[in-house]
Chains A and B, each alone.
Chain A
């Protein structure tokens, strides 16, 4: 993928503005939310592809914690482009220890190129038997890795439709608060369509710009998923 093929998602995520020295996602935490009707895993696939095929920085490393599907599934979709993947299974503490082990095994200068991808958070909850405190702690530890000291990036996939029926969706709110970029994937309000698969909203909380005021950017567009790529377009603008 060359640098000219930027699409709406790249712009919304701010991927087109990063310089070579910084890590691909700029040390941000990205939270992707989807629902039963429309799966958001394609966003994960696209991000992983971007990270692994970035021509500007060939030493990108993706640490993939895959709970939802076996690796053969991702392998097939990404057409064999795998990064260094590792993932613990049991014990959140042990899992985090594994992550830091991988991080420390990387050479000093490349630590900012690490992106941790979690597919998906609800399965970590199941593994922790519902103790959302432990899961939140684990996610906060991962988020701490995105601080300036380490500079890693974090991409998480979660499903927000089972929190919406609860009175106090604390878990979801905390994750949304902690995320720098929030991507929400929803079905079309008008129902199923063969040429438009859904719509997405990207909220990018930039750091303060030069004048010192917050620069939140919200983008809203639709998408159509194909075998090897995804088309993004504004409503009604599809050619």
Chain B
């Protein structure tokens, strides 16, 4: 369990006694907030520990690539692995079918293929050894193997609710389902028994009847935001930002507590290939526009707001800070913080000594 602890800010209340009594899927954060994992350890680290309970996360989709689905899948799988009830809404006619595509946590022996810095590697080795003896020991956040589907028992035996937004004439049924779902997780900081997750995919997708009702959408999001804030839950909404009018897109952005956008990377872009190391492995970019600021007015200034989305071995979702390729003729090392040391093998060989 110690392997996944990240450094918190000096203002956080680190109460080891209390946190050990809590379940592992919740971590104490600063200013009396609690974090749950997004399902992507790199994203948790960048956001300062995870997603604060009570947050509304919005993901601006790129209409050219389904990268938001990677975020959504990991988020949902993480919740199911931690036995957190899930409400999933999607514009497809059979949202339950999507659950079969959720990834499974990767087994410990696969983890060794990821290169970490030495300290974390030692930590992983210890954790792996302990895993032999503690079957039910859970981490705060898991690595997910996108090529292995989640075991069916994770979503057939527990509280997973699905709703299709395709044929809804308006958003009232969805709002009712969300409100009744969230009523099971009333806010109580002292003893968090259960936390819930809501995942709404492609709200305002054009194939839905209700997609042109812009003010209704805003009203729904606002109501959801305030209900989530007063519950022990986290909601994530993805939406096609290019299909919403610009002024409404801004309104949506203002309503989000945490706002990220995903962007596809053009194939065979020679300019980008020169600029970035490991360009071939990058499938897209993740931009973090806003970070949840609950119970505080201090803005979060992140070290990096643009991360590259990579699929390692086409199985593991990895987010890295961008590595600049060495400039021709400089002969120096690349700038930018490095998330993995595998980047050095693919440096464009223009070092002249």
Asked if A and B bind, the verdict is yes
Residues in chain A near residue B315, CB distance under 8 A: none
A130 at the interface (CB under 8 A from B): yes
Docked pose: A34 CA to B99 CA in angstroms? 40
Pairwise interchain contact A162-B247, C-beta atoms closer than 8 A: yes
Pairwise interchain contact A73-B289, C-beta atoms closer than 8 A: no
Q: Which of B265-292 contact A (CB under 8 A)?
A: 289-290
B333 at the interface (CB under 8 A from A): no
A69-B229, A126-B222, A162-B247 known; A38+B299 contact, CB < 8 A: yes
**How many residues on B have C-beta within 8 angstroms of the other chain's C-beta atoms?**
33
- Give the interface segment out of B20-28, B134-142, B248-256: B248-256
Pairwise interchain contact A129-B296, C-beta atoms closer than 8 A: no
Instruction: Report the minimum CB–CB distance from A31 to chain B (whole Å).
Output: 16
Pairwise interchain contact B299-A165, C-beta atoms closer than 8 A: no
Residues in chain B near residue A213, CB distance under 8 A: none
**How many residues on A have C-beta within 8 angstroms of the other chain's C-beta atoms?**
33
B107 at the interface (CB under 8 A from A): no
Contact check: which of A77, A165, A226 meets B295 at CB < 8 Å? Answer: A77
Pairwise interchain contact A165-B250, C-beta atoms closer than 8 A: yes
Residues in chain A near residue B229, CB distance under 8 A: 69-70, 73
B341 at the interface (CB under 8 A from A): no
Docked pose: A70 CA to B297 CA in angstroms? 14
A115 at the interface (CB under 8 A from B): no
Residues in chain A near residue B250, CB distance under 8 A: 36, 159, 161-162, 165
Docked pose: A123 CA to B31 CA in angstroms? 26
Pairwise interchain contact B247-A122, C-beta atoms closer than 8 A: no
Interface string of A122-133 (1 = CB under 8 A from B): 110011011000
A70-B230, A126-B222, A129-B219 known; A41+B251 contact, CB < 8 A: no
Q: Which of A207-239 contact B (CB under 8 A)?
A: 225-227
Docked pose: A165 CA to B32 CA in angstroms? 38
Instruction: Report the minimum CB–CB distance from B260 to chain A (whole Å).
Output: 12
Pairwise interchain contact A36-B290, C-beta atoms closer than 8 A: yes
Interface string of A39-71 (1 = CB under 8 A from B): 101100100000000000000000000010110
| Chain B residues engaging chain A, CB cutoff 8 angstroms | 11, 31-32, 214-216, 218-219, 222, 226, 229-230, 246-251, 253-254, 259, 289-290, 293-299, 301-302, 305
Residue pairs across A and B with Cβ atoms less than 8 A apart, 5 shown, are: A77-B297, A122-B254, A126-B251, A159-B250, A161-B250
Q: Other CB < 8 Å A-B pairs besides A36-B259, A76-B295, 15 of them?
A: A36-B253, A36-B289, A36-B290, A37-B289, A69-B229, A70-B226, A73-B295, A76-B31, A122-B254, A127-B222, A159-B251, A162-B254, A197-B299, A227-B11, A227-B298
